[in-house]
Every structure is written in structure tokens, then in C-alpha cells.
């Protein structure tokens, strides 16, 4: 694993690291913030999954998460959103290919060779960071924005016991019924396996074994694609432990994400330290 950069931040260290990924068949880059407490021993971990077009860097520099994570003594992992590099399939559209991995294992050409983001995030990257850094992998939580909110919710519900809590900012909530979903799931998976990557359907079928927090802006320009009402209805019908909040006047941007980041960090800290 190569250290790309390390910077002092809020008493801790914000690092960027590159490694060869067996799952994705290429080099992958991720960000990791370690609070000061990591000098003395393993600290809890919050995963942040980003949205369409993002790299590891967007949330790392825009979400304002490190200060609040430092206060709580929590590490932050910022993975990339897709495989990248020479020989990795891509598409001219912003919402398919590099930057748009959708957190699935692709089965269809030309994507199947590299686009295995599910295995990367469910297995490979946790094993890597857990072995290389002072992280308490028995205390993990996960969050994400837009496509990353989709990824966070689906990983949390399909990996019971892994995460103490899950939250999402404006998640793609019902991709099997949205153009942000049907296009990508069809390209990556063909006609099979879509239901396993739909947060609304997973909420209806199994729910999450912990608390859930979802924030959605009322002025989000992508509301028709996100379909938040479907997830809210599924949470209510299941009596899922959690809260869905419609935040008046907010859009889809990182101004929205950063406005509520402190509350999300506090939400996860409560769950993590209860373990």
C-alpha cells in the first residue's frame, strides 16, 4: 500500500492511500481520517460512500466530517466510487462507468472484469484497513450520499451484524423503479439480481438490525430520481427503528450534506459506543 499524502487535521491525520485491488483488478485509492485517539489504540470506524461522479476526495474535502469525527474519536474511511485507470471500461455518460460503480458486482461485459465494488467494500477494503491501521472493526457504522446512500443502506441491510448504525443523505432509495438505477443495474447486472440492491425492497424484506437516519432535502433537484417517499413508507410499514427527515429548502449538494454532518456523526457515535 502506497501513502499518497498525510496531513495533520483536528489533532489527527487525514491520509490518502493507494493499493492494488484484487477485487477490482486495478489500483484503488481511498481516504482515511484517524483521530488523535488512534495513537493509543483501535478506534471505531465510520464508512462514507460517495455519489455519482465523485472520487474518494469529494467528501473528504467538502463534507466537513473530520472535525466532528475528531470530537467523537471516530475514524472515517472515504472509498472511491468505482475502479479507474487504463483498461477499465468507461462510458461517455456521467452516470455509468468510472465514477458510477453503484456498489454492485457487475456480471455483464464490459463491466464484469473490474466493476466489483460490492466485494471491494464488503470484504477487501475492510480487511486491508483493519489490518493496516488502528481501527476497531468490531465497531463499524456506515453512511453515504446519493448513490453512496444507496450503497450504505444496501450494505447495512445485507450484512447483518456488521454495522452498528446506518445513515444516508438523499439516497437513491428505490433504484429498480428509477432511471438512476434501472440504467446502471441493467448495464452491470443484466436482468437478474436487481432486488438485492434496492434499499426500499430490502427494507420491506428484512430491514436493518439497528438505528437508521435518513435526511432528504425538500428542494433536491433529483427528487423524482431518488424516490425517498418509497423508502419512508417502507420504514414506517416495517416499524423500523429510525428517523426519516425531510429538510425544508435543502438541495442535493454538499452544502446540504455538511449542514447535517454533525448530527449524523453524533448519531453514529451513540450507536458505536453502545457496542
Q: Which residues are the active-site residues?
A: 146, 220, 252
Contacts of 59 (CB under 8 A, 6+ apart): 48, 50, 65, 78, 145, 254, 257
What residues form DSSP beta bridges with 20?
27
Alpha helices in the chain (DSSP H): 57-62, 66-72, 117-119, 125-132, 147-158, 179-189, 199-205, 223-226, 228-238, 254-274
Confirm if 227 and 173 have CB atoms less than 8 A apart. Answer: yes
User: And the C-alpha cell for 193?
Assistant: 439480481
The neighbouring-strand residues paired with 2 are: 18
Q: How far apart, in whole angstroms, are the C-alpha atoms of residue 110 and residue 255?
A: 35
Q: Which residues pair with 189 in a beta bridge?
A: none
Cβ atoms of residues 172 and 206 within 8 Å: no
Q: For residue 224, what is its C-alpha cell?
A: 423524482
What's the rounded Cα separation, in Å, for the pair 14 and 157? 29
Question: Could you tell me if 61 and 258 are in contact, meaning their C-beta atoms sit under 8 angstroms apart?
Answer: no
CB 169 within 8 A of CB 143: yes
CA dihedral 250, 31, 99, 62 (to 10 degrees): 20
Residues 6+ apart with CB under 8 A from 84: 26, 27, 28, 98, 99
Nearest to 19 by CA among 133, 174, 181: 133
Amino acid at each position: 500500500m502506497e501513502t499518497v499524502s498525510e496531513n495533520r487535521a483536528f489533532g489527527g491525520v487525514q491520509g490518502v492511500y493507494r493499493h492494488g485491488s484484487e477485487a477490482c483488478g486495478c489500483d484503488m485509492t481511498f481516504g482515511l481520517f484517524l483521530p488523535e485517539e488512534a495513537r493509543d489504540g483501535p478506534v471505531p470506524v465510520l464508512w462514507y460512500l460517495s455519489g455519482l461522479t465523485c472520487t474518494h476526495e469529494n467528501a473528504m474535502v467538502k463534507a466537513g466530517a473530520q472535525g466532528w469525527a475528531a470530537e467523537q474519536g471516530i475514524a472515517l474511511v472515504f472509498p472511491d466510487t468505482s475502479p479507474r485507470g487504463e483498461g477499465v471500461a468507461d462510458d461517455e455518460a456521467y452516470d455509468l462507468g468510472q465514477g458510477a460503480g453503484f456498489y454492485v458486482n457487475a456480471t455483464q461485459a464490459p463491466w464484469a472484469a473490474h466493476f466489483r465494488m460490492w466485494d471491494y467494500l464488503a470484504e477487501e477494503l475492510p480487511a486491508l484497513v483493519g489490518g493496516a491501521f488502528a481501527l476497531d472493526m468490531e465497531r463499524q457504522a456506515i453512511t453515504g450520499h446519493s448513490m453512496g446512500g444507496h450503497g450504505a443502506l444496501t450494505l447495512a441491510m445485507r450484512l447483518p451484524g456488521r454495522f452498528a448504525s446506518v445513515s444516508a443523505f438523499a439516497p437513491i432509495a428505490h433504484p429498480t423503479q428509477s432511471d438512476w438505477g434501472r440504467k446502471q443495474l441493467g448495464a452491470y447486472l443484466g436482468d437478474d439480481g436487481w432486488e438485492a440492491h434496492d434499499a426500499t425492497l430490502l427494507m420491506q424484506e428484512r430491514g436493518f438490525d439497528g438505528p437508521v437516519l435518513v435526511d432528504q432535502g425538500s428542494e433536491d433537484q433529483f427528487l423524482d430520481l431518488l424516490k425517498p417517499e418509497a423508502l419512508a413508507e417502507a420504514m414506517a410499514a416495517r416499524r423500523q427503528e429510525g428517523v426519516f427527515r425531510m429538510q425544508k429548502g435543502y438541495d442535493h449538494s454538499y452544502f446540504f450534506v455538511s449542514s447535517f454532518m454533525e448530527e449524523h456523526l453524533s448519531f453514529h457515535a451513540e450507536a458505536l459506543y453502545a457496542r
